[in-house]
Structure 1
Amino acid sequence: MSFGQGLSGLNASSKQLDVIGNNIANAQTVGFKAAQAQFADVYANSLNGSGAGQVGIGVKVATVAQQFTQGNISPTQNPLDIAISGPGFFRMSDNGAVSYTRNGQFHLDDNGFIVNAQGLNLTGYPVGSTGLILAGTPVPLHINTADQPPKATTEADTIINLDSRATIPTVPAFNPLDPNSYTQKTPVDIYDTLGNKHTLETFYVKTAPVPPATGVGEYDIYSTLDGVPVVTATGTPGLIGHAVFDTLGKLDPLATTPVTTPPFTFSMDIGAVTTAAGAAPQTITYSITGSTQFGAAYSLNALHQDGFTSGKLSKFNTGKDGTILGTYTNGQTAVLGQVILSNFTDPNGLQSIGDNQWVETSESGPPLAGVPSSSGLGTLTSSATEDSNTDLTGELVNMITAQRVYQANAQTIKTEDQILQTLVNLR
């Protein structure tokens, strides 16, 4: 009698319903990967070998395979939520015990480490003292929330146009307080070693030629720091150099002049500025490369300096390549770390340990770690999570089918019972 076939069918259908029920239960679990019950037929071993009339003895569940297909990406309001688009898993650490997940719901713990709901640490590459990523052995990622230290200005650059039609100032002795003693001035905000902001003003005093004469244009250039002349090697207070423009209105850096030609280097007289008390002396390199002297009104076309004041971390987000970039209140940005991903030759060989975590096995192969967007790994999206890939419509249809199969197998057992009862009642 074939009670065995029917019973195996009941067990297989029951197992399939368990898998379907688990998929449906996790339809809203972030990063969940639906599973599929896969079946195989069963035949009894025969001493005489196989034959054309061999009848199977039922069915078995060959494996329950998870389907690592991509889930939908949903935006969130948490900058630490990260979604993976494509292959790969987040690498998590529990005091050195490594596991892997697709659930990118993270937050900062009280020590500044990026962790998930179970308290596992997200791992990646840290940042060195120079601000560069230290690629090597992954470590728990830590967000440094300390204030960003200030950076003293060492370079300043301006690109201007000086009006070639301007006349030589009527007052021969330069005085920063007398507009008649200079042709034009350009202010630049700079910072000392303590992060205090100062105003560096650069004055252009035309010396030759006098319109309507033709030929080159020459300018003495002075600078003051918060109104105090800077210290230079020229011997004249505030005089940082001399600029010569050719007949095409372009700066001529090779012209022979009595004093220094651009770029200019000078010292800031920090001690003469009360707001800079305690700041260390610093030297500024000032460039006007690209400046012109055309027959047009003065214009400031570009301005740059490399210093900034201290700043507090205001926000951060994760780039497609896993780089965590922090933004500070001083307008600066800094790299805080880099998330890495791990992939496996056979993800279906991973062992699920619950809480959306998997661990490697001999079937999965060793982890292949790398930077997102490289080596076939997926990309990351900040402030987003990956939805469960459970197809509710498909699972409900599968559930109906599994229920019908279960009923059919129960019917075969019932039929076999009726046949057996007929045999028992023979006289």
Structure 2
Amino acid sequence: MSFNIGLSGLYAANKQLDVTGNNIANVATTGFKSSRAEFADVYSATKLGSGSKTVGNGVRLANVSQQFGQGDVNNTGNVLDMGIQGQGFFVLSNNGSLSYTRAGTFKTDKEGFITNSEGTARLQGYGVDANGKIQNGILTDLRIDTSNLPPKPTDLISSTINLNSTADAIPKTATYKFDPANTATFTKQFTTPVYDAQGNQHSMDQYMVKTGANTWDVYTLIDGRNLDGNSPTDATTLAVPSTMTFGESGELLKVSTPMPSGAPRESSDLLLTGWIPGTVKDGVWSANGADGADTITLSLGKTTQFNADTARSIPTQNGYATGQITNLTIDGSGVLLANFSNNQTKPIGQLSLASFTNEQGLQPVGGTSWKETFASGIPGYDSPETGTLGSIVSNSLEESNVNLTNELVELIKAQSNYQANAKTISTQSTIMQTIIQMT
């Protein structure tokens, strides 16, 4: 019996050495999780129990459990290197077969798909629609689209403007004629870049003319011309202003725009329709050609008339020219943001992380990856920083969580255990030799 007990001890010590050696071998493996050998004693028993004087039959390997503790996340400088700070696994798909990993060493293949370092599996996440909105709930292969960002015509401009209530009024006499080249015909000028549907940049100039105690005229020109494409100083095509009316407290009451027919249009916004050279018909400016924008809305609701310098905050407008992708950034929630040469930023996807009820039930399949099993439970997918899921750290990798000092101590313990069990066998052999000599 002692021979079997000693052999079981040698086997257990050998397995302990195997596990420890594997941990040490993978001390520099990205995303590696250390393992621990777990043992259980062995007793013979019958249906009526093992009895109170039963001697054990040795030891057996009960389990090799992986320790999913957090590893250090260190910077690498590669944007597609990603570490998870907290819980969760990256999701990889190899022709529909899903695996899970903590190793974020990703790259792109020739088609732009994000893959693991071997290029055998694609990173999974959520795609975006035409407007850049994340489509949560449907896993897809993440791909970095390097095509140009198409231009967008300007259709909204907003800013905060204050018009000086103490500025001198410019009387609208019979001889007055607005002339953008004559500063005596206007009080203040503001310029805003705007874009047409082909991505061409134009200059929109607004000329503010104080005409009374609480009234200001606004002349709007595109590239120095009226909205109908003609010169604002041409005797037959004089610029037509809109009129802003303010209350006694300096708040904007309305913006009134004359129409060729019918009553003036009154609103807190100024609408420019067909702003690329066109013709005026039925109160709207109709564009000539396909390069015109339907409408630009100039949001003037934040315009005030106080006793302060006439000034405008930096305007915002939503148009832009064609852009080429210049770089990629990934935020903590896993959103992939493409930055373009036209100063635009557009989401092109979002990483998905998987979580399991029982991580210990995952089956290691090599390549620092695991597979789902019945014991692990089915995975739950969601975006990073949702619930208990961790955050994504771009330009970084999670190192192995192996504690080398502890593993070296385990080596010493396993060696001692092996020697002690070998001694058990040699001692039993000596006893048997003694018995044989007695006979």
Tell me the TM-score normalised to structure 2 length.
Answer: 0.89
Q: Give the total of aligned pairs.
A: 415
Distance 1:236 1:247, change over 3 A: farther
Tell me how far apart the structure 2 counterparts of residues 237 and 334 of structure 1 sit (CA, whole Å). 42
Q: Deviations over 1:218-267 (max 9, x none)?
A: 111111111111249xx974324101122222222289998444411123
Tell me how far apart the structure 1 counterparts of residues 15 and 188 of structure 2 sit (CA, whole Å). 86
Superposition deviation, residue 148 in structure 1: 0.8
Q: Does 1:191 align with 2:218?
A: no
Q: Deviations over 1:158-198 (max 9, x none)?
A: 32222222223377111111111111111111111111111
The answer for the alignment partner of 1:177 in structure 2 is 181
Q: Deviations over 1:354-389 (max 9, x none)?
A: 111111111111111122222322221111111101
> Is contact 1:192-1:282 (8 Å) kept?
no
Gapped regions of structure 1 (runs ≥ 5): 210-216
SS in 2 for 1:38: strand
Kindly, what percent of the aligned residue pairs are identical? 40
Distance 1:256 1:417, change over 3 A: closer
**Cα RMSD over matched residues?**
2.2
The answer for the alignment partner of 2:271 in structure 1 is 265
SS in 2 for 1:325: strand
Q: Does 1:75 align with 2:75?
A: yes
> Is contact 2:6-2:58 (8 Å) kept?
yes
Distance 1:189 1:48, change over 3 A: closer
Tell me how far apart the structure 1 counterparts of residues 125 and 425 of structure 2 sit (CA, whole Å). 57
Moved more, 102-111 or 79-88: 79-88
Distance 1:268 1:168, change over 3 A: farther
Tell me how far apart the structure 2 counterparts of residues 342 and 390 of structure 1 sit (CA, whole Å). 23
Distance 1:61 1:397, change over 3 A: same
Q: How does 1:26-425 map to 2 (within 5 A)?
A: 26-46=26-46, 49-119=49-119, 120-169=121-170, 172-209=176-213, 217-231=214-228, 237-253=238-254, 259-261=264-266, 262-271=268-277, 279-425=291-437
> Is contact 1:231-1:267 (8 Å) kept?
no
Instruction: Return the letter of the residue paired with 2:23.
Output: N
Superposition deviation, residue 149 in structure 1: 0.9
Q: Deviations over 1:317-369 (max 9, x none)?
A: 22222211211111111111111111112111111111111111111111111
> Is contact 1:240-1:260 (8 Å) kept?
no
SS in 2 for 1:425: helix
Superposition deviation, residue 80 in structure 1: 1.0
SS in 2 for 1:239: coil
Gapped regions of structure 2 (runs ≥ 5): 230-235, 279-287
Tell me how far apart the structure 1 counterparts of residues 406 and 425 of structure 2 sit (CA, whole Å). 29
Tell me the TM-score normalised to structure 1 length.
Answer: 0.92
Q: Deviations over 1:45-64 (max 9, x none)?
A: 34763221100111010111
> Is contact 1:191-1:309 (8 Å) kept?
yes
Q: Deviations over 1:252-300 (max 9, x none)?
A: 228999844441112354248xxx9962343211122222222332222
SS in 1 for 2:424: helix
> Is contact 1:231-1:238 (8 Å) kept?
no
